[in-house]
Structure 1
């Protein structure tokens, strides 16, 4: 990409940086060694100008990027940490420090990013680096491409990091139809087109209804009107990526299908327990156990990010920065709404089957592309303030958001600092609960972002996720499918 003095923001970037949302991303990277701040500063001084987003600030009207001089020292924060006070509470210190960051806005007079170096030992790292930036700079896929460009394989320091190879979107026409003549292909194409149009119309109607009046059921996981301005807490837990792949292969589904099935099962268990506690409290502490405490017909929906690039795998950073690239850098994604199935199932495989059917249905719709197009039109016709208000109303009327980002396939190092884990999240949204999945090496990291005034016990959601995965795997063994 050639550097220009000014460059317009993309539609999603304009929405994300608006004062009504001001959505920021947080990337928490755990290291296996202490971090040398001088190494970080030196690397930034040599490379920050190679990336226009990290060396540009916003114009006053928030519509353009303007190149500017970057003083790297202003963007790297190394707080003083008393080693005697921190030896017993490393993880708590990191959690509280990151939570406080959600109340401190980024300085708009300079590029919208900073890095915080915390040389604190936690349960799974010797030190933690926190990268914070306004979401207008990039989406998750763009950031991972940047990480790969700045790191090397730990096993071979001379080789750059790699992620899952670039792939094309799969065709919906089966091989059997391709072999059985033009007539069957024509019938399939007509039927598929009609279904595509119908699904898109239904999805767009529900989207407009959600913006205007259709709200999710008020549950113990749904935040109130002030949740966006409340401090957030970030938690993570690692699970085996091999277990996810095992279920994926046996059930003939995608990794996203499996993750969504686990999410539905875990949130159902968590909410059932919350409603049980509420009932027991109303009955003056009675010990009565209710097998199913969930209200009938809970409307519980999740926003889900959808990559709009034609190449849905990863490309090298240099290729993503080229103008008109098919795998461009920035915020080239949209949202769909997933109606989660909240209910107790005697067979845990039902959650997986429902998630597979739901995702197959959502893939056969143009809602994501149309939503992105409508945001562009709304920005031109109504302006940024009105568009942001409509976008935020949509977020407030659903319960949560989920996303899955593919990370490096092998362990990576940053200038001699081996990475233990990577997990992204964000704040500035109108949800009390946010769920991110990120793969790294042989593990999958689940990140939960919560408003602690609404969800004081997020670790129980992790427990339910691990138990759901364990139960699903056990059922497959019992049925002789493994």
Structure 2
């Protein structure tokens, strides 16, 4: 396999008065994510037409501020990096690797998986904008061709990248329009907003309204204290899921994925009267439990192990994703807030063996409902900014490192297009995003698209039997779905 090389090229910054005005500092959050990269594996429903895709990238993606800028540090100024506009040579960002034809013919799925894994060991050339498209133009079991997109995390968070991707796609059913977007969030104001009851409602509703703020404040204090305790001394127990022997960020990550039925998830959601996220968290707990007790050989199934995950939360104000996409499409991308607007939540996962698979979903619902009644994500974002401002980036980086090394895993969940989309005339079969550069041995990502959910695991390949772990997720969702159907059928017979 010929992996892409990262040679040193001269920096092509635009040395003009206009570019000087467009310079802006690299945010503290982006600087904390300096070692992290986002990798998105996109399956296409047609062979790659390079001229069309290159033209689309040049016209739609490369023009956006972060994708035509580089980080420059001027030691004669304040010494802090800033974004400076640079020329974009598309040949620097489009890679067509020369893979072993025999390996591709023998197992094309494995060839794609091995190539994408190799990206996690290669640096990016910082003399040019930090993004790449890798074309793997051969069929696999899920797609006619594959595109692997690698983006440095300082450019944007997952939600920003998803929004930009949507602006670069069109509906497969009607290429003249933008794809259908997920519905806007029910919340229209700040996360701490609680609708005040009218005066005519009486004293009890008003008292309950005040009490909701007391509960919110108490839960927030409780979560922030737990977060600080995690920084100082609390750490997850050493299990199969926690990396040991240091946190070498250069260790190779393997990205594996499978497709889950959104209809099955919604069936469980409706039967349990919960949310899609509750079902996914419950499925994750069930899968991790199944993997743990099988691989560890632990026969004490009565025990309960609590493992912490770092859940990344987008803290941007609620807005219609469609509106943001329209702003990008109309050339108003400078009005869109790019970069990383992230908070963090400590989300516990319970490792246990339950006779009733639905118990995993019930426990997950309690956990998620409790986390919703807290400002933990907002406070962790603000605390991070305060630490950077008063104690410097090194102190913030040390604290950030302690948090993620004391947890066992990372967990994310992103809503994608609700219909099939196409990019430059190429229908997209699946979208499988993930991340590498963090010290956790396991990252779990759910990405909804069309009528399916793509589960993506980024694993330390020396640490996990990744295929068995992936199968545990599919079998766990199946068991939960069957149990929900049995419960629903039993309830109908009794009624």
- How much does 1:371 deviate? 0.6
Normalised to the residue count of structure 2, the TM-score between the two structures is: 0.87
- How much does 1:319 deviate? 3.0
Q: What SS is found at the alignment partner of 1:141?
A: helix
Deviation larger for 173-182 or 237-246: 173-182
The separation in 2 between residues aligned to 1:179 and 1:305, in whole angstroms, is: 39
Q: What SS is found at the alignment partner of 1:300?
A: strand
Contact 1:168-1:313 within 8 A present in 2 as well? no
Of residues 480, 485, 490, the one that matches 1:472 is 480
CA separation of 1:312 and 1:145: change in aligned 2, threshold 3 A: same
- How much does 1:375 deviate? 0.9
- The match for 2:471 is 463
- How much does 1:165 deviate? 2.8
Q: Deviation digits for residues 137-166 of structure 1, max 9, x if unmatched?
A: 111111111111111111112222222032
- The match for 2:343 is 334
Q: Is the counterpart of residue 299 in structure 1 residue 306 in structure 2?
A: yes
Of residues 402, 409, 412, the one that matches 2:421 is 412
> Where does 1:88-107 land on structure 2 (aligned, <5 Å)?
88-107=106-125
- How much does 1:201 deviate? 1.0
The separation in 2 between residues aligned to 1:361 and 1:453, in whole angstroms, is: 35
Q: What SS is found at the alignment partner of 2:402?
A: helix
- The match for 1:360 is 369
Contiguous gaps of at least 5 residues in structure 2: 1-17, 74-78
- How much does 1:443 deviate? 0.7
- How much does 1:81 deviate? 3.4
The separation in 1 between residues aligned to 2:196 and 2:286, in whole angstroms, is: 35
- The match for 1:163 is 181
> Where does 1:414-453 land on structure 2 (aligned, <5 Å)?
414-453=423-462
Q: Is the counterpart of residue 308 in structure 1 residue 315 in structure 2?
A: yes
Contact 2:188-2:319 within 8 A present in 1 as well? no
Deviation larger for 196-205 or 469-478: 469-478
Contact 2:220-2:376 within 8 A present in 1 as well? yes
- How much does 1:213 deviate? 1.3
The separation in 2 between residues aligned to 1:389 and 1:453, in whole angstroms, is: 26
Following superposition, which runs of at least 4 residues in structure 1 exceed 6 angstroms of deviation?
A: 170-180
- The match for 1:42 is 55
Contact 1:14-1:62 within 8 A present in 2 as well? no
Contact 1:12-1:331 within 8 A present in 2 as well? yes
Q: Is the counterpart of residue 398 in structure 1 residue 407 in structure 2?
A: yes
CA separation of 1:260 and 1:170: change in aligned 2, threshold 3 A: farther
The separation in 2 between residues aligned to 1:415 and 1:65, in whole angstroms, is: 29
- How much does 1:440 deviate? 0.8
Contact 1:307-1:332 within 8 A present in 2 as well? yes
Q: What SS is found at the alignment partner of 2:249?
A: helix
CA separation of 1:85 and 1:465: change in aligned 2, threshold 3 A: closer
- The match for 1:73 is 91
Contiguous gaps of at least 5 residues in structure 1: 280-289
The separation in 2 between residues aligned to 1:62 and 1:127, in whole angstroms, is: 41
- The match for 1:206 is 226
Deviation larger for 102-111 or 230-239: 102-111
- The match for 1:285 is none
CA separation of 1:202 and 1:38: change in aligned 2, threshold 3 A: same
- The match for 1:220 is 240
The separation in 2 between residues aligned to 1:386 and 1:190, in whole angstroms, is: 38
- The match for 1:284 is none
Q: Deviation digits for residues 112-142 of structure 1, max 9, x if unmatched?
A: 1111111132221121101101111111111
Q: What SS is found at the alignment partner of 1:341?
A: strand
CA separation of 1:80 and 1:35: change in aligned 2, threshold 3 A: same
The separation in 2 between residues aligned to 1:243 and 1:176, in whole angstroms, is: 37
Contact 2:169-2:423 within 8 A present in 1 as well? yes
Normalised to the residue count of structure 1, the TM-score between the two structures is: 0.90
Deviation larger for 95-104 or 225-234: 225-234
- How much does 1:370 deviate? 0.8
The separation in 2 between residues aligned to 1:54 and 1:185, in whole angstroms, is: 50
- The match for 2:9 is none
Contact 1:303-1:336 within 8 A present in 2 as well? yes
Q: What SS is found at the alignment partner of 1:261?
A: helix
- The match for 1:148 is 166
Q: Is the counterpart of residue 262 in structure 1 residue 283 in structure 2?
A: yes
The separation in 1 between residues aligned to 2:334 and 2:316, in whole angstroms, is: 11
Q: Deviation digits for residues 318-375 of structure 1, max 9, x if unmatched?
A: 53696896x7333112110011111111111211111111111111111111110111
The separation in 2 between residues aligned to 1:46 and 1:147, in whole angstroms, is: 13
Contact 1:432-1:451 within 8 A present in 2 as well? yes
Q: What SS is found at the alignment partner of 1:220?
A: coil
